[in-house]
Amino acid sequence: MKLWAIALCLLATCASAHATTAVWQPAAGNTQIPIWPGAAPGAQQVPGSETAKVSDKLLAGKPVTAVTNVTQPTMTVYAPTGENTGAAVVVIPGGGFEILAIDLEGTEACDWLTSNGITCVLLKYRVPSKPYDWKCDCRPHNFALSVPSLQDVQRTMRLVRSHAAQWHVDPHKVGVLGFSAGGFLVAEISTNFDRHLYAPVDAADKESARPDFAMPIYPGHLTKGDGKLNPNVPVSGKTPPTFLVQAEDDYVDGVNQSLVYYNALAKARVPAEMHLYAHGGHAFGLRSTSNPITGWPALAKTWMSTIGMIPTAGP
């Protein structure tokens, strides 16, 4: 079995499930907000109804909840539990554009962000979607633009800024954090924020979709074996400051994804910080393990303070 298939099995599709719900729901007290007032632009048919499955297989001692067949994308806003820093982060789970690892790479990231005074906006974007065709088991490692998903990210960034006053967010401190396929979307929104992928639907679409800072964690789809950057992520001097985390033994998407992207950022003189660890594999999220890579969130917090997005921690 190919390594990407192993990863997807762990997250959802090949693993047996001990619990299934029709539609994923956030914890009590948090509400999903539709990001489109009507049907999403370019809505396409999916294999079935939305489902959320909890795997029997454990990752770092916990199961993984996988959401798929999402046709009505939503965002869930989590308010800071500590002193509000004014910063906000849109969290983009991964899952190979077929599923969303909604807890491993979603709600658990929100728990960390809100505990550090950062508003978290969890995006449940449309899947399955290109660059992979759910009808095909070949899953070509291509350079397609993830249009439906990127439309959802653009719209969410604009909605956060349009609600900044209501949510007590500084509209100049709105970042993105994504994992695996979500990390690819972080790179896409960082380089395609001015690209018009849908017709404006309301006043929110007058807002900028550019992130003020970006955190792609073990991103995929950024390069082929030839070592060239995906042309759909045109890094420029306007690309926001970026924080990368990668394990050298990631044999799903491969370490070169982050290395090539970091090199492009350096050439464009974009402020960037990358942490490369010997061990960690793929899809480690924020879960505690014996590997040093578990400490990356503390480094990310320090980085956010050094670029002025959150206050510097006291001694």
Domain membership of residue 196 as a residue range: 3-306
Asked whether residue 171 is domain-assigned, the answer is yes
In a domain, 73, yes or no: yes
| pLDDT value, residue 9 | 47
- Beta carbons of 143 and 231 less than 8 angstroms apart: yes
Per-residue pLDDT of the chain (315 residues; tens, 9 = 90+): 333 343 444 444 444 445 666 788 898 888 899 999 999 998 888 889 999 999 988 888 899 999 999 999 999 999 999 899 999 999 999 999 999 999 999 999 999 999 999 999 999 999 998 766 555 554 445 566 789 999 999 999 999 999 999 999 999 999 999 999 999 999 999 999 999 999 999 999 999 999 999 999 999 989 877 889 999 999 999 999 999 999 999 988 889 999 999 999 999 999 999 999 999 999 999 999 999 999 999 999 999 999 999 998 654
Residue 315 lies inside a defined structural domain of this protein: no
Q: Does 64 reside within a domain? A: yes
Per-residue burial over 20-34, b if 16 or more Cβ lie within 10 Å, else e, is eeeebebeeebebee
- Domains identified in the chain, total number: 1
CA gap 262, 267 in Å, rounded:
9
SS3 141: coil
CB burial string 159-195: b at 16+ within 10 A, e below: bbbbbbeebebbbebbbbbbbbbbbbbbbbbbbbbee
Q: Is residue 263 part of a domain?
A: yes
Q: Is residue 311 part of a domain?
A: no
Q: What does pTM read for this prediction?
A: 0.92
In a domain, residue 35? The reply is: yes
Closest CA to 126 of 105, 103, 157, 147: 147
Looking at residue 204, which CATH number applies to its domain?
3.40.50.1820
**What are the DSSP calls for 179-232, one per residue?**
ETHHHHHHHHHHH-TT---S---SGGGGS----SEEEEES--SSB-TT-PBPTT
- Do the beta carbons of residue 184 and residue 146 sit within 8 Å? yes
Q: How many CB atoms lie within 10 A of CB 155?
A: 25
Q: Where are the alpha helices (DSSP H) in the chain?
A: 3-11, 108-115, 147-162, 181-191, 256-267, 296-306
Phi then psi for residue 91, to 5 deg, are: -100, 130
Q: Taking Cα atoms as reference points, which of 84, 82, 73, 59 lies closest to residue 122? A: 73
Q: Is residue 314 part of a domain?
A: no
